[in-house]
Amino acid sequence: MTFFLDTETTGLWRGDGAELVEVALMDETGKVWVDTLVKPEKPIPSGATAVHGITDDMVKDAPMPEAIIASIYIITEGHTVVIYNAPFDCQWFPDLDKYATVADAMIEYAPLYGEWDDYHQSYRWPKLTNASERVGFRLPEGMNPHRALADCLAARAVWNYTKNAGNPS
């Protein structure tokens, strides 16, 4: 089975003190296995809230990250987990690759996007919102980008597009 994972956080780098504030996990059929806010130890910076809209009040009664991380490992064991920009999300799931095969939808999509970066000698990595729009995906009404479940849906659309790009049917 293929799963799609996304997180929302208080910052960019776990090593700099960023924490999880939301996690979503859905399978290839669209079944949602996890869709939860996560309680960080420190207040959510206003800059992070400006991106995803998650506030301290929203997470005050949320579960702690350890329980969520453990459940993700159990659910995905032996399966494939697709993440758009896997290195980012895997910071919070450092052992995920011991349980599941991790695939990066962004890396798969970048060559199809086709914008070469001479400096990095690789294809540019488009933002998920741009990639999903380009493959014709629109979020369901009431969902906003930069929320974990919405981004799982977008990543699934991009992943499916990349897998069918050479075989339209």
pLDDT digits 0-9 by tens, 64-101: 999 999 999 999 999 999 999 999 999 999 999 999 99
What pLDDT, on the 0 to 100 scale, is given for residue 114? 72
Report the DSSP pairing between strands 101-104 and 20-27: unpaired
Instruction: Give the N- to C-terminal CA distance of the chain in Å, as an integer.
Output: 21
d(CA 46, CA 52): 10
Domain ranges of the chain: 2-164
In which band, very low, low, confident or very high, does the pLDDT at 169 lie, cut at 50, 70 and 90? very low
2-164: CATH homologous superfamily? Ribonuclease H-like superfamily/Ribonuclease H (3.30.420.10)
158 pLDDT above the threshold of 80: yes
Contacts of 50 (CB under 8 A, 6+ apart): none
133 pLDDT above the threshold of 60: yes
d(CA 122, CA 42): 37
What pLDDT, on the 0 to 100 scale, is given for residue 76? 98
What pLDDT, on the 0 to 100 scale, is given for residue 168? 45
In which band, very low, low, confident or very high, does the pLDDT at 123 lie, cut at 50, 70 and 90? confident
Which single residue is written with the structure tokens 């991009």?
158
Q: Residue 127 corresponds to which amino acid?
A: K
Q: Which residues face 35 on adjacent strands? A: 24
What pLDDT, on the 0 to 100 scale, is given for residue 120? 65
What pLDDT, on the 0 to 100 scale, is given for residue 40? 94
Residue 132, phi then psi, degrees to nearest 5: -70, -35
Letter string b/e over residues 21-47, b meaning 16 or more CB atoms within 10 A of that residue's CB = bbbbbbbeeeeebbebbbbbeeebeee
Token output for 65: 């990250």
Q: What's the Cα-to-Cα distance from 25 to each of 76, 110, 114, 132, rounded to whole Å?
A: 9, 23, 29, 18
What pLDDT, on the 0 to 100 scale, is given for residue 42? 93
Give 10-67 pLDDT, tens digit per residue: 977 777 878 999 999 999 999 999 999 999 999 998 888 888 889 999 999 999 999 9
Token output for 120: 């990095």
pTM: 0.90
- Segment 111-128 mean pLDDT: 78
